[in-house]
Amino acid sequence: MQIVCPQCGEAHAVAEAKLPGRKFNATCRRCAARFLVEVVFCRRCQRRSQEGWPCACGGEAGAEQELEEGAGEVTADTGAAAGDQGRPAAPRPPDEYRLQFTGSGADYFRIWIVNLFLTIVTLGIYAAWAKVRTRQYFYSHTLCAEEPFDYLADPLIILRGNLIVAGGFLFYMLSNVFTPLVSSLVALAFAGLFPLLVFKSLRFYARNSAYRNIRFHFLGSLQEAYISYLLLPVLLPLSLGLLYPYWAFRRKRYFFDNMAFGSRQNSFAGQAGSFYLVYLKALLIVVLPVMLLLFLGTMMGGMALGRGGASGNGFMSGFVILLLVAYLGFFVAGIFAQQYLYATITNYCWHVSSLGPVRFRSSLAAGRLMWIRLTNILALIVSAGLLFPWTKVRYTRYVVENLSVITSQGLDDFTAGQEDSEGALGEAALDFFDFEVGL
Q: Is the pLDDT of residue 426 over 60?
A: no
1-41 per-position pLDDT tens digit: 777 777 666 677 776 666 676 777 777 766 666 677 778 77
Q: Is residue 268 part of a domain?
A: yes
Q: Is the pLDDT of residue 44 over 50?
A: yes
Looking at the structure, tell me whether residues 146 and 215 fall in a common domain: yes
pTM: 0.70
Q: Is residue 439 part of a domain?
A: no
Looking at the structure, tell me whether residues 330 and 396 fall in a common domain: yes
Looking at the structure, tell me whether residues 204 and 119 fall in a common domain: yes
111-127 per-position pLDDT tens digit: 999 999 999 999 989 99
Looking at the structure, tell me whether residues 35 and 183 fall in a common domain: no
Q: Which of 61, 92, 123 is a domain's end point?
A: 92
Looking at the structure, tell me whether residues 236 and 173 fall in a common domain: yes
CA distance 277 to 387: 37
**pLDDT at 134 (0 to 100):** 95
Share above pLDDT 90 across residues of the chain, in percent, rounded to a whole number: 38
Looking at the structure, tell me whether residues 12 and 138 fall in a common domain: no
Q: Is residue 437 part of a domain?
A: no
Looking at the structure, tell me whether residues 126 and 231 fall in a common domain: yes
**pLDDT at 232 (0 to 100):** 93
CA distance 399 to 76: 40
DSSP per position, 280-341: HHHHHHHHHHHHHHHHHHHHHHHHHHHHTTTSHHHHHHHHHHHHHHHHHHHHHHHHHHHHHH
Looking at the structure, tell me whether residues 265 and 211 fall in a common domain: yes
Between these two residues, 380 and 73, which has the higher pLDDT value?
380
**pLDDT at 69 (0 to 100):** 34
Q: Is residue 438 part of a domain?
A: no
CA distance 366 to 348: 13
Looking at the structure, tell me whether residues 334 and 421 fall in a common domain: yes
E-strand spans in 44-162? 48-50, 95-98, 100-101, 142-144, 147-151
Q: Which of 46, 77, 92 is a domain's end point?
A: 92
Looking at the structure, tell me whether residues 191 and 306 fall in a common domain: yes
Looking at the structure, tell me whether residues 183 and 43 fall in a common domain: no
Q: Which of 92, 123, 139 is a domain's end point?
A: 92
Q: Is residue 214 part of a domain?
A: yes
CA distance 408 to 91: 9
327-381 per-position pLDDT tens digit: 777 777 788 888 999 999 999 999 999 888 889 999 999 989 999 999 999 999 9
Which SS3 state, helix, strand or coil, does residue 258 take? coil
Domain residues for the domain of 160 are: 98-432
Half-sphere exposure of 271 toward its Cβ, with a 13 Å CA cutoff?
8
Looking at the structure, tell me whether residues 103 and 198 fall in a common domain: yes
Q: Is residue 424 part of a domain?
A: yes
Number of structural domains the chain divides into = 2
